[in-house]
Amino acid sequence: MKSTDAKTPVATIEPTKLEKHGDVRIDNYFWMRLSDEQKNADHKDAQTQKVISYLEEENAYYKEVTKYTKPFQEELFEEMKGRIKEDDSSVPYKDNGYFYITRYEVGKQYPIYSRKKENLEAEEEILFNVNEMAKDFDYYQLGGLNVSNDNKLMVFATDTVSRRQYFLRIKNLETGEIYKDIIENTTGGSVWANDNKTIFYTKKDPVTLRSEKIFRHVLGTPTSEDVEVFHEKDDTFGTYVTKSKSEKYIIIGSYSTVSTEARYLDANDPTGEFTILQPRERDLEYSVSHFGDHFYLLTNKDNATNFKLMKTPINKVGKENWVDVIPHREETLLEDFSIFKDYLVLEERSNGLSKVRIKRWDATEDYYLPFTEETYSVGVYANPDFDTDIIRYSYNSFTTPSSVIDFNMNDKSKEIKKEQEVLGGKFDKENYISKRVWATARDGKKVAISLVYHKNTELNKDTPLLQYAYGSYGYTIPDSFSTTRLSLLDRGFVYALAHIRGSEYLGREWYEDGKMLNKKNTFNDFVDCSKYLIDNNYTSPKHLYAMGGSAGGLLMGAVVNMNPELYNGIIASVPFVDVISTMLDESIPLTTGEYDEWGNPNDKEYYDYIKSYSPYDQVEAKVYPNIMVTTGFHDSQVQYWEPAKWVAKLRELKTDNNLLFLDTNMEAGHGGASGRFDALKETAKMYTFFLALEDKLEVVKIKS
Residues identified as active-site? 550, 635, 670
Half-sphere exposure of 61 (CA within 13 A, CB side): 21
Give the Cα separation of 468 and 548 in Å (integer).
6
Contact between residue 270 and residue 241 where contact means Cβ atoms under 8 Å apart: no
Q: Encode burial over 542-556: b for 16+ CB neighbours within 10 A, e otherwise.
A: ebbbbbbbbbbbbbb
The CA distance from 572 to 689, in Å, is 12
Helix (H) or strand (E) holding 311: strand 308-313
3-state secondary structure of 689: helix
Q: Which residues, in sequence order, are bridge partners of residue 334?
A: 348
> Residue 319 and residue 211: Cα distance in Å, rounded?
26
Neighbours of 134 (CB within 10 A): 20
> Residue by residue, what is the 3-state secondary structure of 136-164?
CCCCCEEEEEEECCCCCEEEEEEECCCCC
From the number of C-beta atoms within 10 Å of its C-beta (0-12, 13-18, 19+), residue 356 rates as: buried
Residue type, 509: E
Cα–Cα distance measured from residue 431 to residue 422, given in angstroms and rounded to the nearest whole number: 14
Residue 344 β-bridge partners: 339, 359
Length of the chain: 704
- 502 torsion bin: left (phi>0), alpha (psi -120 to 50), beta (else): left
Question: Could you please report the per-residue DSSP string of 190-211?
Answer: EEE-TTSSEEEEEEE-TTT--E
Compute, in degrees rounded to 10, the torsion defined by CA atoms 522, 164, 172, 214. 80
Burial of residue 4, with CB atoms counted within 10 A of its CB: 0-12 exposed, 13-18 middle, 19 or more buried? middle
What letter does residue 668 receive in the DSSP assignment? -
d(CA 406, CA 399): 21
Cβ-in-10-Å burial (0-12, 13-18, 19+) of 176 comes to exposed
User: Can you say how many angstroms the Cα of residue 677 is from the centroid of all Cα atoms in its chain?
Assistant: 19
Residue 176: partners with Cβ closer than 8 Å, 6 or more residues away:
none
Which DSSP string do the residues of 492-535 spell out, in sequence order? Answer: T-EEEEE--BTB-TT-HHHHHTTSGGGTHHHHHHHHHHHHHHHH
- Taking CA atoms, 328 is separated from 287, 305, 347, 454, in Å, by 16, 8, 14, 41
The rounded distance, in Å, linking the Cα atoms of 182 and 170 is 8
Distance CA 99, CA 90 (A): 11
